[in-house]
Structure formats: C-alpha cells, structure tokens
Amino acid sequence: TPVIGVLALQGDVREHLVALAEADALARPVRRPEELAEIDALVIPGGESTTMSKLALLFGVMEPLRARVAAGMPVYGTCAGMIMLADKILDGRDDQETVGGIDMVVRRNAFGRQNESFEQGVAFTGLEGGDVHGVFIRAPWVESVGAGVEILASLHEGTEAEHIVAVRQGNLLATSFHPELTGDHRVHAFFVEMVRAVSHGG
Ligand code: GLN
C-alpha cells in the first residue's frame, strides 16, 4: 500500500487525508523536510498558494520537494496545489515561487469576480462513471501547456475558447477543482493508481 503525504503547511489537508484513505492509500500529513523522505507520493492541497509558497520556503521543504519531483515522485495538486506545480504562473505575487514540474502556464484566480466560486460537471479523460463534480473556489486555470502535457479536462464557456482545468505530465497530476470536497474519490483513486504503477516499475 503506497504511503501518500499531504503537504500540511496550509489548506484543506484533512479532506485530502480522508479521500486518500478511502482510495486505499496510507495517508499522512507532511510538514518537515525529513518527512518528505518517508513518503511514496504527495498531495498538495487547495488553499492559498502565496502563503503555501512562503511557508514552504520558511520550513525548508521547497528545495527537497523540487528534488523529489525531479527524481520522479508522483505529486497531485488541487487548486493552490496546481499553482504550486506550474513551471510558470500569471497574476502571482512578485516574490511567489512554485515547486514547478509541469510545463504549463497557470493563471491564478482566473475565473473572474462574477464567477469566483461555482460548481460544474467536468468530463475527465480516463475516469469511468460519468462527469466529476467540479468544485471551483477562486480557482486557477491552465493558460497553456507544453508538448509533454496531457490535457485531462477542459471547461467551455459558451462558444468561447476552452479553459484547461486538469492536466498530467508524467507522474504529476493537477486539477483546478477540489475532488476532495465532493465525497467522490475517483480522481484520488486515479492518482493512487499512478503511484502504484511507479512503485511497481510500470
Ligand atoms: N486562489 C488561491 C490561490 O491563488 C487558490 C484557491 C484554492 O486553492 N481554492 O492560491
């Protein structure tokens, strides 16, 4: 059974611990650099990416985390966690650093004032059982992706261009929305399968 940490500096940590446990992983909060060495994979929760970034630097986990991402550890980021996994962000704070790893440009708080928070069905490539219930809370979207990034879900705004809201690059997964708040653990189960595939050398 894979041991999956949830980065517990800030954000909705508890909900992810529950969702991972229900998806048959051993879940535990991770705060300190030493704890990063003891996990097979990591979830970066939703919350506030500027604060999370600051705390990651303060607690000394930013660099070790980058090293583990570079070495292939699977990571799943939701919302603020998606921002943390972006190689480049728009509308971030001037001094805001990310862990990076996914070759994408992510725009913070992208869904404007009218639409700061909303819920919408999302067709998610590779998941059986119909749409995922997408909970978007001051959510980012993915503005553009590099060639190695697989787009797993997009939203349409009428006839307007699509907004990308879920991506995967290698062992890294990111969603603009929060499956951990819905009681539907298919996205977490999808991630746990990714982790198992790595552990088994797949
Ligand atoms: N707007 C937040 C940020 O920029 C993300 C919101 C969320 O995680 N629900 O970090």
With a 6 Å cutoff on the Cβ, whether 47 touches ligand 1 is yes
Q: Is the pLDDT of residue 2 over 80?
A: yes
Q: Is the pLDDT of residue 202 over 60?
A: no
With a 6 Å cutoff on the Cβ, whether 96 touches ligand 1 is no
What is the pLDDT, as a whole number, of residue 143?
96
- In tens, the pLDDT along 79-130 reads 999 999 999 999 999 999 999 999 999 999 998 777 789 999 999 999 999 9
What is the pLDDT, as a whole number, of residue 61?
97
Contact predicate 79/43, CB 8 Å: no
Secondary structure of residue 192 in the 3-state scheme? helix
| Residue 44 marked ligand-binding | no
Positions annotated as catalytic residues are 79, 178, 180
Torsion, Cα 77 78 80 83, to 10 degrees, reads: 50
Task: Give the domain ranges of the chain.
Answer: 3-199
Q: Please give the number of the atom of ligand 1 that sits closest to the Cα of 51.
A: 10
CATH for 3-199 is 3.40.50.880
- Coarse DSSP helix, strand, coil percentages of the chain, rounded to the nearest 5 percent: 30, 30, 40
Instruction: Name the pLDDT band for 160 (thresholds 50, 70, 90).
Output: low
What is the pLDDT, as a whole number, of residue 151?
97
What is the pLDDT, as a whole number, of residue 12?
97
| Residue 146 marked ligand-binding | no
Q: Please give the number of the atom of ligand 1 that sits closest to the Cα of 81.
A: 8
Alpha carbon distance 26, 127 (integer Å): 22
Alpha carbon distance 24, 193 (integer Å): 10
Percentage, residues of the chain above pLDDT 70: 96
Q: In whole angstroms, what separates CA 48 from the centre of its chain? A: 13
So what's the ipTM on this one?
0.95
| Residue 108 marked ligand-binding | yes
With a 6 Å cutoff on the Cβ, whether 51 touches ligand 1 is no
Alpha carbon distance 196, 126 (integer Å): 16
